[in-house]
Structure 1
Amino acid sequence: MNEKRKPKSPDEIDAHIGRQVRMRRKMAGLSQEKLGEQLGVTFQQIQKYEKGANRIAASRLFQIAEVLGSPLSYFLPDNSGNGGEEGFAERQTAFVMDFVSTAEGVELNRSFTHIKSSKVRRRLIELVSEIARDQNNDASQE
């Protein structure tokens, strides 16, 4: 009866809300410690929220939304009526959200939005796309 238990993976909704909290916190330029101070919790608790390891109570999510200056709906998944089935688009969205919530993703987005010329933004997208294609081609030839 002494079976080893497999660590429980976070619920997908908890993980989604955690990713949203992380992304919004980074966009606001707050550290986990600073957000924790404003909420009266430790930075370790913020880490657990962001990983989806600990669920965020509705009242706490409301506090987070207020501190980060976001509507509560920003953190919640879009319930488009797909019956809870995660398809390719949802997995791609999670992948993008994971990247955007990194320091590099936040900096890239922040810098990109400061470029006023739509022509320059379009050329940058084309350049990055070409680099990615070249890297994929190089990797497939190895």
Structure 2
Amino acid sequence: MPSKKAPNPIDVHVGSRVRLRRMMLGMSQEKLGESLGITFQQIQKYEKGTNRIGASRLQHISTVLKVPVSFFFEDAPGTPQEAMEASGTQPTSYVVDFLSSSEGLSLNKAFVRIEDARVRRRIVDLVRSLAGEEA
């Protein structure tokens, strides 16, 4: 039986950013799929990086999710070497996992509503301290 080719790290990254933004908006895979005229299963494949998102589809997704296309490439591995290194453990996967949890999503939504940058920095310092990490 032939082995399946591993997904391209950029496709995985873009898919994880689609999932991140969708979760931030509280939108289901089904709802995003309906907006794009595709199934939620296709959205699942995009989010896992199993299926590559074409340029016109990514433009449509960016419109539905109300972010610029560049959002999906933020922190993406830029060089082939970085892409190879990222194919192991995806550095942004813990962010997606965190924001996929109800606690993470609630914390993020509340945090972004705090307008004072000093207060936000103090909260980050507090959380680091509670986690036993130096600021």
Q: TM-score, normalised by structure 2?
A: 0.77
Segments of 4+ in structure 1 off by > 4 A?
77-80, 90-93
Q: TM-score, normalised by structure 1?
A: 0.73
Check the 8 A contact 1:22/1:101 in 2, yes or no: no
Q: Write the letter of the residue equivalent to 2:111.
A: F
Match of 2:9 among 9, 12, 34: 12
Separation (CA, whole Å) in 2 of partners of 1:106 and 1:51: 20
Q: CA deviation at 1:74?
A: 1.5
Q: CA deviation at 1:79?
A: 7.5
Matched, 1:85 2:81: yes
1:26 matched residue in structure 2: 23
Check the 8 A contact 1:35/1:43 in 2, yes or no: yes
Q: Taking every aligned residue pair, what percent have the same amino acid on both sides? A: 48
Q: Deviations over 1:23-68 (max 9, x none)?
A: 1111222110100011111111101100001111111111111111
Q: Write the letter of the residue equivalent to 1:112.
A: F
**5+ residue gaps, structure 1:** 135-142
Separation (CA, whole Å) in 2 of partners of 1:46 and 1:40: 11
Larger Rg: 1
Q: Write the letter of the residue equivalent to 1:109.
A: N
Q: How many residues align?
A: 129
Structure 2 residue matching 1:20: 3-state secondary structure: helix
1:137 matched residue in structure 2: none
Check the 8 A contact 1:14/1:55 in 2, yes or no: yes
